[in-house]
Structure 1
Amino acid sequence: MTATLQTPPATARPVIAHVGVPGLRLVRSEFRKITTTNAWWLFGLASVFFTGFALFINMSEAAQHLERARDTAAVFKPGRGMSAAEVAAARAEFAQLHDLPLQAVNAAGNIFTSGQFFGLLLVMLLGALVITNEFQYQTATATFLTTPRRTQVVFGKLLAVLGLGFVFWLVARVLSLTAGLIFFDNLGLTNSLGEWPVQRALIFNLVAYLLWALLGFGLGTLINSQIGAVVTAMIIYLGGFVGAIGVFSLIREYLIHEDWVLTSAVMMPSIASQVMVSPEKLYPEAAAWWVGVLVLTGWSLVAGAIGIVLNRRRDIA
């Protein structure tokens, strides 16, 4: 009698549920990479310092302008030898300088967005570092092998960059709003937060932080060298602002004697950024604030699109 031994059926391996949202895990992973380096808190301290320094400057200037606007005894006196047109222009300028509500709105817009000039540069540099750190510390290979779907990795980095921009904006605005409210309360003046120019300055100040972070992301993709990306970013931002005004002014002075030359300076991202967040015109010939929004948005979307495409196609050794 032969006994037949039957192999017991294999036990099915238990299915372990995937915990968490993949996209959010990738974003958290990118934040973790950033916070394990010294860059984030150094940049954070720099942001707080520049915000405080800008608050001191803006509140000092605002105090002078508001004191002059409150001087009801001031009388307009035209200078000798002035033409009728010059007298009219001087009278209009005098009226603006002594318009207390107008000066209060301008002061509020500047104070409540204090620190934005260097703050935008810092978030741009951080946006570039999110990408260049992968190549600097040679973690790009492990990142893409762990998550083979590059689109998810790229968008995880992109969301992390935008999240950093929001955090830096939030910290700077909490500081400036707190100091600004105390400033206006001590002067016995309205804080003008109910005025659209001030609200617009705050809203597009946030937009500027996000767009410059996106620009940095695209730049870091184009230039993998960390030093190269940082230097290029500083040239684009600082040189683009100071240099663009100088170049367009020279063109207006010596080549094309038209005001639209100075208006067209808005095509530079640094100028567009300042134009869109300024509560008043950045300079007399400056473009409208919404033109600055469109220009900076265009630059940022192009940079972000380039960053996404290159990260998806680049060979990682």
Structure 2
Amino acid sequence: MTATLQAPPAAHRPEIAHVGVPGLRLVRSELRKITTTNAWWLFGIASLVFTGLALFINMSEAAQHIARARDTAAVFKPGRGMGAAEVAAARAEFAQLHDLHLQAVNAAGNIFTSGQFFGLLLVMLLGALVITNEFQYQTATATFLTTPQRTRVVLGKLLAVLGLGFVFWLVSRAVSLAAGLVFFDNLGLTNSLGEWPVQRAVIFNLVAYLLWALLGFGLGTLIHSQIGAVVTAMVVYLGGFVGGMGVFNLIRAYLIHGDWVLTSAVVMPSIASQVMVSPEKLYPQAASWWVGVLVLTGWALVAGAIGVVLNRRRDIA
């Protein structure tokens, strides 16, 4: 007779409950990855410097425009040889330049959104770095193996990118708001914060920061090289505005003679961004501000969707 030895039953392992919201832990993890590098504070300093320079320029121009609008002795004098239509256009321009309320509103919109041109570029670069850092420091494999549900990881990155965009917007707007309030108080003018064009400029300035951060995220997904992503982002942003307007002006001058050609330049994301945050028309033939909102939103959603799909499907071995 033989006896069969049976192994003792395995001890029951107690289940340890997760603490906190999983999604928030992923967002904190992504933010920690960014703050452990030098990029975030270097970009933060650059954002403050650009905001300060933009404030100085915008305030100088605003002071000149407001002083001219306050000149009650100015009289409209049409130039010699001007036709009736030219005289009417010149008179309308003169009236706008000497409309104190209009000049104060335009000045407020520019001052309270100071630093946005380069600030948007910086958040776009940060959005790209959130992705490219994973491949630069070879942490992508560990990230996805630690959290196999890639959708959650990608959404965590997206929320972290949007959070960074919001923080950069908030700090820049706090600085420009404080400086702007002092500026208008010294001139004895209302700050125009109750005017819709100024409110729209500030609100959609925030939207622009979030959308450009999302665009950077999508770009970083397409280009893993950190240098390549940074260079491409700068070309897309800076070249898209300067070069884009140049191309559309050439088309209008030599190929298609119509103002709608310049209006259609809003399809470029850089131009759409400037159109939607400007308190007044960016240029005479510019599209309406809401068109800029729709165009930039479309570009950002496409970039974000590409980023989600590629990160979920890409081989990380």
| TM-score, normalisation: structure 2 | 0.97
Are 1:225 and 2:210 an aligned pair? no
- Tell me the matched-pair count: 313
Are 1:316 and 2:316 an aligned pair? yes
* Pairs within 5 Å for 1:149-168: 149-168=149-168
SS at match of 2:168: helix
Which residue pairs with 1:257 in the alignment?
257
* Pairs within 5 Å for 1:115-154: 115-154=115-154
Which residue pairs with 2:29 in the alignment?
29
SS at match of 1:285: coil
* TM superposition shift of 1:16: 1.1
Quick one: which amino acid aligns to residue 188 of structure 1? Answer: G
Give the distance between the partners of 1:175 and 1:239, measured in 2 at CA: 28
Give the distance between the partners of 2:8 and 2:281, measured in 1 at CA: 82
Which residue pairs with 1:195 in the alignment?
195
Quick one: which amino acid aligns to residue 259 of structure 2? Answer: D
Q: Percent identity?
A: 89
Give the distance between the partners of 1:288 and 1:15, measured in 2 at CA: 58
Give the distance between the partners of 1:270 and 1:124, measured in 2 at CA: 12
Give the distance between the partners of 1:36 and 1:123, measured in 2 at CA: 17
Which residue pairs with 1:85 in the alignment?
85
Higher mean C-alpha displacement, 50-59 vs 11-20: 11-20
* Pairs within 5 Å for 1:105-120: 105-120=105-120
* Pairs within 5 Å for 1:230-309: 230-309=230-309
Give the distance between the partners of 1:90 and 1:212, measured in 2 at CA: 38
Give the distance between the partners of 1:190 and 1:81, measured in 2 at CA: 40
Give the distance between the partners of 1:299 and 1:157, measured in 2 at CA: 18
* TM superposition shift of 1:163: 0.3
Extract structure 1 runs of 4+ deviating beyond 3 A. Answer: 5-11
Quick one: which amino acid aligns to residue 212 of structure 1? Answer: W
* TM superposition shift of 1:12: 2.5
* TM superposition shift of 1:137: 0.3
Structure 1 unmatched ranges of 5 or more: none
* TM superposition shift of 1:6: 11
Give the distance between the partners of 2:271 and 2:10, measured in 1 at CA: 69
Give the distance between the partners of 2:80 and 2:217, measured in 1 at CA: 56
Give the distance between the partners of 2:11 and 2:39, measured in 1 at CA: 50
* Pairs within 5 Å for 1:6-45: 11-45=11-45
When residues 39 and 80 of structure 1 are mapped into structure 2, their CA distance, relative to the original with a 3 A threshold, is: same
Give the distance between the partners of 2:62 and 2:145, measured in 1 at CA: 55
Give the distance between the partners of 1:107 and 1:140, measured in 2 at CA: 46
Higher mean C-alpha displacement, 173-182 vs 74-83: 74-83
* TM superposition shift of 1:11: 4.3
When residues 142 and 7 of structure 1 are mapped into structure 2, their CA distance, relative to the original with a 3 A threshold, is: closer
Give the distance between the partners of 1:51 and 1:6, measured in 2 at CA: 75
SS at match of 1:125: helix
Give the distance between the partners of 2:97 and 2:278, measured in 1 at CA: 17
* TM superposition shift of 1:182: 0.2
Superposed CA deviations along residues 247-272 of structure 1, whole A, max 9, x for unmatched, are 00011111110000000000000000
Give the distance between the partners of 2:234 and 2:94, measured in 1 at CA: 38
SS at match of 2:271: helix
* TM superposition shift of 1:10: 5.3
SS at match of 2:172: helix
Quick one: which amino acid aligns to residue 60 of structure 1? Answer: S
